[in-house]
Structure 1
Amino acid sequence: MQEIIVKSDKWYTYDDYLQLDDKYEYEVIGGKLFMTPKPRPLHQEIVGRLYVALHNFLKQRNIQGKIFLDVDVIFGNQVVSPDIIYIIPERLSIISETNIQGPPDLIIEVLSPSTQKYDRKQKSQLYYANGVRSTGS
């Protein structure tokens, strides 16, 4: 099982994150750089099913807004890439060309054995501290 690698040799920022240019996936929380393993096929299948279910639910009820998969969400100098996010129409201004600037209204994280503790602790605390209205895992 792949594990999350944490680099804490310095205080990492969003600018440091932007300088990373390799095949790995990274997130920055609390000045630490988290290198996360690529999702496995079952994880991605579950994410896809959840996306379709959420999309259909919103469409059937004529609820507007935007749903995104695996997009960078910026909280100051911290950056994460949740599996699925939803933003209500009144808050679409937080969507930039390259990322989401602030808390989405809903974040869904599909838990994997290798990232479960990280998602439940560091990421959920970050979401709560930054005003995410609803999270699911």
Structure 2
Amino acid sequence: MGQAEPLKTHYTYEEYLELEQTEGIRYEYYQGEVFAMAGSTKRHGQISFNTQKLIDNEMSDDCRVYSGDVKVEIDQHKHYVYPDVVVTCNADDVENDQEVSVKHPSLVVEVLSKSTQGYDKNEKQKAYMRLPSLEYYMLIEQNTCEIELYSRQKDLWSYAFYNDPNQIIALPKLNLSLKVSDIYKRVKFD
């Protein structure tokens, strides 16, 4: 009687792409390891949708906004992640709409979940902030009205915190202004 084949623990970049294609599941990829993306709550989905729609309505035609179905390349063939919303204004990213990833994000938005909050606020944040193109990193709480924004100021990052529905989040490098209450539209807190 034959033994069952052990589960594969490391994948080449090409195997990773094939795995996503054949299984139809989104996986984050880090140096050969793959991590299946968990499903989200309706509240998480509403906040992501609101944010993407707000940005898309205000954004220049030179930029594109994508949902959590488009991955960001952190390190070519080594590290790929799926943010909830990503904006790119890079001509290569904008013109090549058949590409599977954004290579030059300007804004990355993560809606925090209990299961991913630590990762989004630590390892993922550090990886994003090493990208030379990234101007803004936004973290949105889904269970309270709290938004954190990191903005690149030359070689430093500044921090802003928003917890009032009437506050406006200014993203001047993208010519965007987002009202906190619009991000949380149709979201009811307990």
Equivalent residue, structure 2, for 1:135: 137
Aligned pairs (5 A) from 1:4-19:
9-10=9-10, 12-19=11-18
- Secondary structure at the counterpart of residue 109 of structure 1: strand
Task: For 1:42 and 1:107, locate their aligned partners in 2 and report how far apart those are by CA, in whole Å.
Answer: 19
Aligned amino acid, residue 76 of structure 1: Q
Matched residue count: 125
Higher RCO structure, 1 or 2 (CA under 8 Å, sep 6+): 1
Structure 2, unpaired ranges of 5+: 1-6, 140-190
Counterpart selection for 1:65 from 47, 63, 66: 63
Output aligned runs, 1:1-137, within 5 Å. Answer: 9-10=9-10, 12-20=11-19, 21-58=22-59, 64-70=62-68, 71-74=70-73, 75-77=75-77, 78-88=79-89, 91-95=90-94, 96=96, 97-131=98-132, 132-137=134-139
* Paired residue type of 2:106: D
SS state of the match for residue 28, structure 1? strand
Q: Point out the structure with max Rg over C-alpha.
A: 2
Mark the runs of 5 or more structure 1 residues left unpaired by the alignment. 1-6
TM-score under structure 1 normalisation?
A: 0.76
Over 3 Å counting, the alpha-carbon distance change for 1:69 and 1:119 in structure 2 is same
The change in CA–CA distance for 1:57 and 1:94 in structure 2 (over 3 A counts) is closer
TM-score after normalising by structure 2: 0.57
Percent same amino acid among aligned pairs?
25
